[in-house]
Chain A
């Protein structure tokens, strides 16, 4: 883990990334923006595939994790396609964005399935939701999410939900509904002001932990006592054995002495024989 984080020092910042892309793509980089911490690079559709290839293959960029690809409705001008890439080595995120040529009637864009395997289903989904055709894709049909014979492109803004047209919102209030006087109905923020039953909570958690700790201590105590008892027993046993051994030794010594006394003559005679 630490190794990964260390490699981040070499990561390019947004300006450097844009400069690098410009160097290879020239005029096809239309601009870039850092919004809420996310670096977005706007591209001309002609540079779409090349930019993805650069992002993956350029060693300084190395955007290896294909995060997602999706469409966004761009009102009269047609649709945007956005690809989010992430680099596991530098920890950077790059968002590529392009406006699909063909307007709302016949949007077509080149496919990047050759570069990222994960683009396959993402492009199928974009086709299913927006009707954007991807040239070079292995097969956009059958529609990936909706029913095979579904008519229309659900995520386009001109696709209206039939149920909503037929029936009003069944809940009590519409999203952020206005009251009779035209004011927004206000939510009563009464909870956030109170600090919450924190001290009691903490005390109880401490108690619970104390119980666990107590159990552990008791268990250890028991184990220690058991060990002590065992040690004492072993000691007693050892003492007993030592005593027994001593007694046995004494007896043996006595016997040996007696034997030695008895065997004195033959033993010495043996020695004499050996000699």
Chain B
């Protein structure tokens, strides 16, 4: 940040043989020295350890180069050293805001390979917790995006709800972030007494408070001025990058695994999807907010449908996936999570590839940033929702 060479660059007069002369290049623009600004890996805007190197002309970005890997913990290698029960305690940590969905993916792919029938009640409860997890995740992003735009209060509001929901999920699973509630073939435990009543109450409470966010953030004039038309992502570019989740839905592509490739019991409930028009920061954020609302809508339906019965099946003495490869895709809060599980018939996977949504979403950032102002970069970085652990794994 403060080495001498950069100083010479930013103080043109101090470098030997350099004049402070501005060259006029048509249309009254000045030719200025380009400057390289390295944001991160520990910068407030990057929520986590994500680094992005910007080439600047004035405050305009001419090129952006994300540098990732600061949170690379080698999940895919570690998974090869753990058996199928231990993996779920590992994978729920890569996207630390959607622990339940992550472990759900592993459970589903192993069940798929074992061709196992999971009890109905377990599937419905999985859906319930997954949707609550989605609400938790999105609330976090509502707060952090507003924080990046300079509004501090939505974060506190979002955590007010988050805390309540975390207490609810803790009652069932024993965890606040990493639930480890799934098992191959079902769930660890049944729901505790009173869970449903509390869930009903909380769903209503959150729905009542949701308009606060719509007013405080989405309806705010300054918020709109900062986000409308900023960083539009055309649908064909988004698909080519493999962008999914709210970022893709904002571009107007109706792609949501819960609808187009239903897993669990999503084909038995009504899953609305909000679509944006321009794919700009505003649309991305609006999609996120509507996803909260629709998740609560799904939760309400689950309350009505939850059947009785066992929540897990009796497992063989040792879980061994048969030889072969399977792919399971689920709709994680941030986009599509895919697990490619390849097994050689042993007790640990031969290869577990995690196709994480953030990795693909973040790839589109250089495309979005080119030609933008630095403050817009913040708006884009905040609205292409990502979790650093989900990028780097």
CB of A72 within 8 A of CB of B112, answer no
| Among A4, A38, A40, A65, contact of B239 (Cβ-Cβ < 8 Å) | A65
Q: Which residue of A lies closest to B359 (CB)?
A: A121
Chain B residues near A86: list those with CB within 8 A: 329
Q: Does B131 contact A (CB under 8 A)?
A: no
Q: How far is the CA of A117 from the CA of B361 in the complex (A)?
A: 12
CB of B72 within 8 A of CB of A146, answer yes
Distance in Å: Cβ of A81 to nearest Cβ of chain B: 11
Q: Does A143 contact B (CB under 8 A)?
A: yes
Chain B residues near A145: list those with CB within 8 A: 68-69, 72, 392-393
CB of A209 within 8 A of CB of B200, answer yes
Distance in Å: Cβ of A120 to nearest Cβ of chain B: 7
Q: How far is the CA of A131 from the CA of B55 in the complex (A)?
A: 30
Q: Which residue of B lies closest to A207 (CB)?
A: B197
Chain A residues near B201: list those with CB within 8 A: 208, 212
CB of A118 within 8 A of CB of B363, answer yes
0/1 interface trace, chain A 133-174, chain B, CB 8 Å (1 if under): 000000000011111000000110001010010000000000
- Counting chain B residues whose Cβ lies within 8 A of the other chain, the interface size class is 35 or more
0/1 interface trace, chain B 188-209, chain A, CB 8 Å (1 if under): 1111111111111100100000
Distance in Å: Cβ of B331 to nearest Cβ of chain A: 13
CB of B315 within 8 A of CB of A187, answer yes
- In this complex, how many residues of chain A approach chain B with their Cβ under 8 Å: the count is 64
CB of B254 within 8 A of CB of A196, answer no
0/1 interface trace, chain B 295-312, chain A, CB 8 Å (1 if under): 000000001001011111
| Among A70, A175, A200, contact of B353 (Cβ-Cβ < 8 Å) | A70
Distance in Å: Cβ of B324 to nearest Cβ of chain A: 5
Chain B residues near A155: list those with CB within 8 A: 76-77, 351
Q: How far is the CA of A4 from the CA of B249 in the complex (A)?
A: 14
0/1 interface trace, chain A 196-224, chain B, CB 8 Å (1 if under): 11111110110111001000000000000
Chain A residues near B315: list those with CB within 8 A: 187, 189
CB of A200 within 8 A of CB of B193, answer yes
Q: Does A59 contact B (CB under 8 A)?
A: no
CB of A117 within 8 A of CB of B312, answer no
Which of B236, B240, B273, B306: most chain A CB closer than 10 A?
B240
Q: Does A182 contact B (CB under 8 A)?
A: no
Chain B residues near A68: list those with CB within 8 A: 242, 338, 340, 353, 355, 360
| Among A84, A146, A164, A199, contact of B355 (Cβ-Cβ < 8 Å) | A84
Which of the candidate stretches B80-88, B136-144, B215-223 sits at the interface with the other chain? B80-88
CB of A118 within 8 A of CB of B81, answer no
Chain A residues near B350: list those with CB within 8 A: 72-73
CB of B348 within 8 A of CB of A204, answer no
CB of A191 within 8 A of CB of B200, answer no
> A184-B317, A204-B193, A207-B197 are known contacts. Are A38 and B326 too (CB-CB below 8 A)?
yes
CB of A208 within 8 A of CB of B317, answer no
Interchain pairs with CB closer than 8 A, number = 194
CB of A201 within 8 A of CB of B353, answer no
CB of A84 within 8 A of CB of B318, answer no
Q: Does A273 contact B (CB under 8 A)?
A: no
CB of B326 within 8 A of CB of A118, answer no
CB of A4 within 8 A of CB of B254, answer yes
Which of the candidate stretches B16-24, B26-34, B255-263 sits at the interface with the other chain? B255-263
| Among A4, A121, A147, A205, contact of B197 (Cβ-Cβ < 8 Å) | A205
Chain B residues near A49: list those with CB within 8 A: none
Q: Which residue of A lies closest to B69 (CB)?
A: A145
Q: How far is the CA of A65 from the CA of B338 in the complex (A)?
A: 13
Q: How far is the CA of A36 from the CA of B179 in the complex (A)?
A: 28
Q: Does B314 contact A (CB under 8 A)?
A: yes
Distance in Å: Cβ of B272 to nearest Cβ of chain A: 8
Q: Which of B81-100 contact A (CB under 8 A)?
A: 81-83, 86
Distance in Å: Cβ of B128 to nearest Cβ of chain A: 11
Q: How far is the CA of A225 from the CA of B348 in the complex (A)?
A: 68
CB of A120 within 8 A of CB of B363, answer yes
Q: Does A67 contact B (CB under 8 A)?
A: yes
| Among A3, A4, A93, contact of B327 (Cβ-Cβ < 8 Å) | A93
| Among B303, B327, B363, contact of A95 (Cβ-Cβ < 8 Å) | B327
Q: How far is the CA of A200 from the CA of B196 in the complex (A)?
A: 10
> A4-B260, A121-B363, A176-B83 are known contacts. Are A116 and B197 too (CB-CB below 8 A)?
no
CB of A192 within 8 A of CB of B310, answer yes
CB of A117 within 8 A of CB of B240, answer yes
Chain A residues near B353: list those with CB within 8 A: 68, 70, 72, 82
Q: Does B214 contact A (CB under 8 A)?
A: no
Q: Does A37 contact B (CB under 8 A)?
A: yes
Distance in Å: Cβ of A32 to nearest Cβ of chain B: 13
Distance in Å: Cβ of A129 to nearest Cβ of chain B: 7
Chain A residues near B303: list those with CB within 8 A: 205, 209
Q: How far is the CA of A205 from the CA of B204 in the complex (A)?
A: 12
Distance in Å: Cβ of A68 to nearest Cβ of chain B: 4
Q: How far is the CA of A102 from the CA of B236 in the complex (A)?
A: 35
Chain B residues near A35: list those with CB within 8 A: 324-326
CB of B317 within 8 A of CB of A194, answer no
Q: Does A262 contact B (CB under 8 A)?
A: no
Chain A residues near B190: list those with CB within 8 A: 191, 194, 196-198
- 18 pairs, CB–CB < 8 Å, chain A vs chain B: A38-B325, A64-B236, A64-B239, A66-B241, A67-B336, A70-B353, A88-B239, A117-B363, A145-B69, A146-B72, A161-B81, A189-B315, A191-B190, A192-B119, A192-B312, A196-B309, A201-B197, A208-B197
Q: Which 9 A-B pairs have the closest CB atoms?
A: A196-B190, A205-B196, A118-B242, A36-B326, A175-B83, A192-B312, A208-B197, A204-B197, A68-B355
7 new A-B contacts, CB < 8 A, other than A118-B363, A189-B315, A198-B190, are: A4-B255, A36-B113, A38-B325, A176-B347, A189-B314, A191-B189, A212-B204
